[in-house]
Amino acid sequence: MNGGPSGFQNSPVTKAFVVACALFTVTFGIQGRSSTLGLSYQDVFRKFHFWRFLASGFAFSSTPELMFGLYLLYYFRVFERQIGSNKYSVFILFSMIVSLLYEVLLLFLVKDPSKVLASGPYGLIFSSFVPFFFDIPVSTRFRIFGIHISDKSFIYLAGIQLLLSSWKRSILPGLGGILAGFLYRINLFGFRRMKFPEFVTSFFSSLPWPSAGGSSPTASSGNIIGNMPSYTGRPVEGNYHSVPVAFTMEPLEDSIATLVSMGFDRHAARQALVQARNDMNIATNILLEAQGH
């Protein structure tokens, strides 16, 4: 299981968000404010400080939380590639606002000045677990010490580690993120159809990010399949995007069987795997998008 192409290709908004989280965390850490981050009743209802709201959305309060948080954000870039940067930006904004409102309401109901919630983008991270659970298929199953696990288990373990990192301080914001994910999934007020204008997300693609391996094309809108580079050769036909490829890579039988077990037609599954070059995540996205048309 992987997130498609390596690095942040076709996911400029995720890249900007990850960099922002790292910079905010390091900056507050250098200033010695890491232990004071997080929203409390006093911060919200008595002494309003805008920087605390900003910090609560981006800065982690410890290095372990930063490592697990950035790992999950990096993996979940697959959703930006699936729905496009313009729609994914709406998902980010929706998740952070809903989770923030949930935290404010929680603090208001508790009214305990000593209650401080964990700082960091818990809303976005744990709202992403909702589409991860429903939309990302298991591509590999294996056993360790007699226990049946899948490749998705490692993502869940990282999420559990982050959720329990500060006990109640982190569990409560995490639950707010899960709530935001479900509200987005049920298309509350039609948010799933909304997207930012092209010029907003194209800004992130134009940022001069340093690159170790040279520049690579990124896309600010559309999904990953629609933004794959062109090749000379015969296009693979189907009820999805027509993507030219230089050669036809025979799909793995196990991959076809996995997609069929999810309810997809065998022929459609094979064609999607050919287009995705045997990448299960991309093939699933093609089939899901085809069903949505």
Do 54 and 164 lie in one domain? The reply is: yes
Return the pLDDT at 157. 95
Do 183 and 244 lie in one domain? The reply is: no
Give me the CATH number covering residue 286. 1.10.8.10
Do 167 and 59 lie in one domain? The reply is: yes
Q: Collapse the DSSP code of 77 into the 3-class scheme (helix H, G, I; strand E, B; otherwise coil) and give the result.
A: helix
Q: Which band of pLDDT confidence, cut at 50, 70 and 90, is reported for residue 16?
A: very high
Residue 11 neighbours by CB distance under 10 Å: 29
Do 155 and 93 lie in one domain? The reply is: yes
Count of domains forming the chain: 2
Do 149 and 254 lie in one domain? The reply is: no
Question: Quick one: the chain helix, strand, coil %, rounded to 5?
Answer: 60, 5, 35
Q: In the chain, what is the straight-line distance between the N-terminal and C-terminal CA atoms, in Å?
A: 26
End residue of a domain, out of 193, 217, 243: 193
153: in domain: yes
Distance (Å, whole) CA 138 – CA 73: 19
Do 59 and 162 lie in one domain? The reply is: yes
201: in domain: no
The reported pTM is 0.74
Return the pLDDT at 42. 87
Distance (Å, whole) CA 190 – CA 176: 20
Q: Averaged over 108-122, what is the pLDDT?
A: 91
End residue of a domain, out of 144, 170, 193: 193
Q: Averaged over 137-146, what is the pLDDT?
A: 84
Q: Averaged over 70-90, what is the pLDDT?
A: 93
- Are the beta carbons of 282 and 224 closer than 8 angstroms? yes
| Token digits of residue 227 | 């933004």
**Owning domain of residue 251:** 226-293
Give me the CATH number covering residue 180. 1.20.1540.10
- CA 181 remoteness from chain centre: 11
Do 153 and 280 lie in one domain? The reply is: no
Do 135 and 255 lie in one domain? The reply is: no
Distance (Å, whole) CA 132 – CA 52: 29
Return the pLDDT at 57. 93
Residue 144 neighbours by CB distance under 10 Å: 8
- Are the beta carbons of 271 and 241 closer than 8 angstroms? no
- Are the beta carbons of 152 and 136 closer than 8 angstroms? yes
